[in-house]
Amino acid sequence: MERGEYYPLFETKMGRGRVVYRLFAISLFVAICLIWLHRFNHIITITTNHTQQEEEDDRGIWVWLGLLAAELWFGFYWILTQAFRWNPVFRHPFKNRLSQRYEHMLPEVDIFVCTADPEIEPPMMVINTVLSVMAYDYPTEKLSVYLSDDGGSEITFYALLEASNFAKSWIPFCKRFKIEPRSPAAYFNTIIDSADTTNLGHELVAIKKLYNEMERRIEDATKLKRVPKEARLKHGGFSQWDSYTSKRDHDTILQRPQYHHNFKAGAMNSLLRVSSIISNGKVILNVDCDMYSNNSETIRDVLCFFMDEKKGHQIGFVQSPQIFENVTKNDIYGNALLAISEVEFHGADSWGGPMYIGTGCFHKRESLCGMKFSGEYKHKWKSENDLFIEGNLQELEEKAKGLANCSYEENTQWGKEMGLKYGCPVEDVITGLSMQINGWKSVYYNPPRKPFLGIAPTSLLEVLIQHKRWSEGDFQILLSKYSPAWHAFGKIPLGLQMGYCSYCLWAANCLATLYYSIIPSFYLIKGISLFPKISSCWFIPFAYVIIGETVYSLLEFLLCGGTFKGWWNEQRIWLYKRTSSYLYALSDTILKLFGFSDSAFTITAKVSQEEVSKRHEKEIMEFGTSSPLFTILATLALFNLFCFLNVLKDAILRDGGFGAYEKLGLQVILCGFLVLINLPLYQGLFLRKDSGKLPSSVALKSSTLALALFLSYIFV
């Protein structure tokens, strides 16, 4: 390399097929406009040609106005989603250049691991994550790992002590043999059927034995719900639990109950303050306790973005995808979110960066602590004033306790202008948006070997509750003072603003989707057409939008590594989320605005029963319990089944057969689609005998409601 010549630490490549996609998107937009024009023209025709049947005409006008509103919404929302598909970019780091230039001055990295409940998030899972991040291919003296346990569990503390002892053998083993992944449980699972372990010899047997012994001790303590007496006597840290009464009421191991807790955001802010007086790493990685490191080179890759001499100064955080290791081949619950991780976040990267999703994210400490970026800012990675702790360890511990206590935040900017923001179920998204408003950019890093792997929900109810929390939090952001619709206007690029709004409006999608799931089937019973007949020229834009968007969605899914059946499952979950999770998210948010409801933090279970796991592996949908969410889904599914069966009956018995339904073609197709996609629900209601079926109470309630809706239009 010649002196003075600039060689970047990463490159940015444009996505392929952009021109083709843009032409397709423009043609689809023209078809959408023609659909809107058709609706406007028909409403005008109805109002100017009033017949004597005024009451029926008035009802028809309102139905068509509803369809127009739904189609305007679908079109508007589709426009928002195009921002993240218009110009996707892909990042590639050069860590060999990083090593050549900065190996002698690599920055300190602080790693935050957050857990909340040892019953939902087992200690063995937590320490596997901790061990995986301790074993990064990075100078050990420059890594500091912090574990925040919101539940203040002494079992988790005991597991961490055991892990620290095991790490003395595990980390050298990882680095000597360069193994991947470096979560012990994940690694041992990968070598069960592998023959490529001959070079490890007796060392593999020895390290596996140490792990099994540690696992047995931790599992025994977890089952007995108490720490072994010898461990208590050996380590003075257990004295902290002498005044412990409950997860929400314990000594200042972490928090006190008389102050608002703020959940994960509060825990992260406490770690920010505590780490600042211990290690004060310039780069911070935060991971959820179920997201273990799957790539030991990740830190070096990420530093290529931060430490690039020209482009790195403005990068405030680097986000990696949230990938799950327990997703089945056809992803029955759509947990992989392939469109988001493989398409949309790459598109967001071209507009200034993806959102912060709360895990698998690297931050510059300054950006996370509220500093605003300015053109004069240049990050100094080499500093003679790096923190060095000496003196009384007890004094340091007492000072750290004070910083961790919730009372420390009173009358400060923590949770407002500093650290993670409070007052929203998705504190991560609002925090990332605030950083971007402050002038920072983010980068999306999605390498072939994924940086982190986690655990996805294995039942439909867990999935729906998770998406209810996400969509409710995002919608609250839209209505908050941090709204991307107005607060971010002019402060972030328009494309990024549109993308944020598309996520914040997830909940609002429920209204148009519910309308389209009910009204066309209602009028199908009466034989009243709400769409152009197949022989009409107005049928063409409807057909083009339906076929074009379906084919594109399928091709996108397949190119992202999915399967046809996986795509079909994704469409089903898309429908279920919009008609249940998003509906509750929207109603809860509106009620909260009027003081009638308040959001509660929900932790998604990370463990499942053996029978549930087996059904998940066989890709059998898990219901297993009663829920209002299931009642809504089952009622809609049965109502459309009744409507479709009525159409089949009339087509068989009437003169003209199916030809009589030529003017109702699109309604028949829509109703048939809603029946076909709900087959797992019908099976869960009436055909399955296992414990994962829908309870009889749900079957009775939904059948009654669906039949009442159906008969109300038969006899009116």
Q: Which residues are catalytic?
A: 150, 428
- Residue 111's nearest CA partner among 138, 85, 90 is 138
Q: Is the dihedral of CA 407, 408, 413, 418 positive or negative?
A: negative
Taking phi over 0 as left and psi of -120 to 50 as alpha, with beta for the rest, 181 belongs to beta
List the structure tokens of 704.
């009654």
Q: Report the half-sphere exposure of 542 (CA within 13 A, side-chain side).
A: 19
Neighbours of 225 (CB within 10 A): 11
Task: Give me the amino acid identity at 327.
Answer: V
| H or E segment and range at residue 111 | strand 109-115
Q: Name 489's bridge partners.
A: 492
Please tell me whether residue 318 adopts helix, strand or coil conformation: strand
Distance of CA 458 to the CA centre of its chain: 15
What does the alpha-carbon distance between residue 405 and residue 410 come to, in Å, rounded to a whole number? 10
CA–CA gap between residue 35 and residue 42 (Å, rounded): 11
Whether the Cβ atoms of residue 345 and residue 339 lie closer than 8 Å to each other: no
H/E element, 12 = strand 10-14
Helix 123-134, helix 201-224: angle, nearest 10:
140
Contact between 636 and 575 under an 8 Å Cβ cutoff? The reply is: no
Non-local (6+) Cβ contacts of 152 within 8 A are 241, 244, 247, 250, 253, 254, 255
Residue partners of 676: CB distance under 8 A and separation at least 6? none
Q: Provide the H-helix boundaries in 139-262.
A: 154-177, 184-190, 201-224, 229-234
Task: Answer yes or no: are the C-beta atoms of 115 and 289 closer than 8 Å.
Answer: yes
Cα distance between residue 151 and residue 679, in whole Å: 41
- DSSP string covering 51-74, please? -S-HHHHHHHHHHHHHHHHHHHHH
Query: 110 forms bridges with which residues in the sheet?
Result: 144, 284
Dihedral of CA atoms 516, 517, 520, 525 in degrees, nearest 10, equals -170
Residue 89 parent element (H or E)? strand 89-93
Q: How remote is the C-alpha of 428 from its chain's centroid? A: 11
DSSP string, 239-297: GGGGG--BTTB-STTS--TTS---HHHHHHHHHHHHHHTTT--SEEEEEETT-EE--TT
The residue among 634, 326, 558 whose CA lies nearest residue 453 is 326
* Dihedral angle computed from the Cα positions of residues 368, 371, 373 and 379, in that order, rounded to the nearest 10 degrees: -80
